[in-house]
Structure 1
Amino acid sequence: MSKTKIFSYIFGIIAIGLAYYLYNSISTSIQETERIAKLEARIIEQLKMIREAELAYAAVHGQYTSDWEKLTNFLDTGSFYITERTETVITLDYGADSTHVEIDTIGTVPVRDSLFTADKWPKFNLSTLPYVPGVEPPTKFDVWADKIEKSGVKVNAIEVKNPKPVNPERDEESEYNTKKPLRFGSRTSVTTAGNWE
């Protein structure tokens, strides 16, 4: 066998090995990207459910809560009042109008039944609501709720974030909010927007 054929076989084997290595590394990278995207989609859905729960809690109690037990108890046993509003406009003698408003409570509806219907949130599970999906060991979302001062007025603020990002590119120190760990709300402004929106 000539040296040319031997080199051809060796280079052929090396080329096949390199092609397999490149294909495998690209395939692994794509699979990892898809895995991260699926996990982050689940985390975002969980954050949206928590945001809905916190907004309902604040509507009833006048403030957000950072206590998971209070929030889950509220979702499990709390109720919204169903009210009926009636307005009567009375024309006064001098031509101005006066409005008389009556608000009657006509019943209650459980928070859980009104917020987390199966068609809107099919993956809702009260017992796993505080936990970041797909993270081992089980880890709860970080919740901060307090009042902050804005223009001389104390207002409610909330921030809920994932303490263990599944995407290694997400960093708390990033200057871009969209590159920080998944979260909604803010400790410095009055918002409940998520950084994925």
Structure 2
Amino acid sequence: MYTILTIIAAVLVVGLLAYLIVNKIPKGVRPVISIVLWLLIAFLGYSIYTAIMAPIAFNKEKVARYSKVIDNLKMIRDAELAHREVTGVFTDKPSDLIKFIDTAKFAITETRNIVVQEQRGALTIDVEKRVVDTIGFKDVRADFAGKNYAKMFEVPGTSAKFDLQTSSVEKVQGISASVFEAKVDKAVVLEGLDKDFIRQEKEALGGVDVRGEFISVGSLEDVKTGGNWPPSYDTAEEKDKNE
């Protein structure tokens, strides 16, 4: 808004000076006024250039900061999914989740069909049943090799930490499902940038933008584990998984 007002004011001043030069200013003073006019034109040009480049620079910095934040949220999501696979529920304790990665193991199972005989009254019939056998175990930590999961709850570029919460929702009548959400306010991530742009960013409705006031993954109201960012923040492999 300040830039727009500056441009409008400069245009009005330039127009006024041009009128005065032509109609009111003595010829002897006109060279000085001309220099002032050229300076104002240069200032106006710079203001227009700044007004055009400011949102471009903001978006470039925003994407760079968001990408780092989203990488951590993806790690949190993967850790929560692993925790649910092993324990049956999500957790809202960051330290427990990090410890879980370090110590827990996935069960490696094998499914096979067997035929058993069952007595049905006077008849003996063959019934096919599915049997799941545990044939080994794999460290959860192996899925996080090369990732700094010990610091995944730290919001990159800030001193803040992600807010992590869990709850349960009724997926179908009488059956509840564990849910989680990890999030951070966009204003925290974008601290130090233009406040007007930050305000607009917090009002984003989606599309090519991160939706809403927060960057988040999961939900406390619905059974979902996706994030609120657009596909441009995902790799080709991750996009295929989400389709």
> Which TM class, normalised by the smaller chain length?
0.7 to 0.9
Q: Answer whether contact 2:101 2:141 (CA < 8 A) is retained.
A: yes
How far apart, in 2, do the equivalents of 1:18 and 1:5 lie? 20
Is 1:70 aligned to 2:70, yes or no? no
Q: Answer whether contact 2:110 2:132 (CA < 8 A) is retained.
A: yes
State the structure with bigger RCO (CA 8 A, min sep 6), 1 or 2: 1
Aligned residue among 99, 108, 128 for 2:137: 108
Task: Give the unaligned 5+ runs of structure 2.
Answer: 1-26, 191-197, 231-243
Is 1:186 aligned to 2:219, yes or no? yes
How far apart, in 2, do the equivalents of 1:44 and 1:179 lie? 15
Is 1:130 aligned to 2:149, yes or no? no
The 3-state SS of whatever aligns with 1:182 is strand
Q: How many residues align?
A: 187
Q: Which residue of 2 aligns with 1:79?
A: 105
Query: Partner letter of residue 86 of structure 1?
Result: R
* C-alpha distance 161-77 of structure 1, shift in aligned 2 (>3 A): same
Q: Answer whether contact 1:76 1:111 (CA < 8 A) is retained.
A: yes
Q: Answer whether contact 1:142 1:163 (CA < 8 A) is retained.
A: no
Q: Answer whether contact 2:92 2:164 (CA < 8 A) is retained.
A: yes
* C-alpha distance 85-67 of structure 1, shift in aligned 2 (>3 A): same
The 3-state SS of whatever aligns with 1:162 is strand
> More helix per residue: 1 or 2?
2
Please list, as runs of the form range in 1=range in 2, the aligned pairs for 1:140-155 lying within 5 A after superposition: 140-150=161-171, 151-155=173-177
**RMSD (CA atoms):** 2.8
Q: Answer whether contact 1:89 1:98 (CA < 8 A) is retained.
A: yes
* C-alpha distance 107-152 of structure 1, shift in aligned 2 (>3 A): closer
How far apart, in 1, do the equivalents of 2:60 and 2:151 lie? 23
Query: Partner letter of residue 151 of structure 2?
Result: T
Q: Answer whether contact 1:87 1:100 (CA < 8 A) is retained.
A: yes
Deviations 1:12-59 (A, max 9, x none): 111112222332444344222211111111111211111111011011
Structure of greater Rg? 2
Is 1:27 aligned to 2:53, yes or no? yes
Please list, as runs of the form range in 1=range in 2, the aligned pairs for 1:12-23 lying within 5 A after superposition: 12-23=38-49
How far apart, in 2, do the equivalents of 1:127 and 1:57 lie? 15
How far apart, in 1, do the equivalents of 2:35 and 2:53 lie? 27
Q: Which residue of 1 aligns with 2:21?
A: none
* C-alpha distance 175-44 of structure 1, shift in aligned 2 (>3 A): closer
Q: What TM-score comes out, normalization by structure 1 length?
A: 0.81
Hey, which bits of structure 1, 4+ residues long, moved more than 6 A?
none
How far apart, in 2, do the equivalents of 1:17 and 1:175 lie? 32
Task: Give the unaligned 5+ runs of structure 1.
Answer: 119-123
Displacement of 1:80: 0.7
Query: Partner letter of residue 109 of structure 2?
Result: T
Percent of pairs identical after alignment?
A: 31
How far apart, in 1, do the equivalents of 2:166 and 2:212 lie? 22
| More displaced stretch, 184-193 vs 68-77 | 184-193
How far apart, in 2, do the equivalents of 1:152 and 1:175 lie? 36
Q: What TM-score comes out, normalization by structure 2 length?
A: 0.67
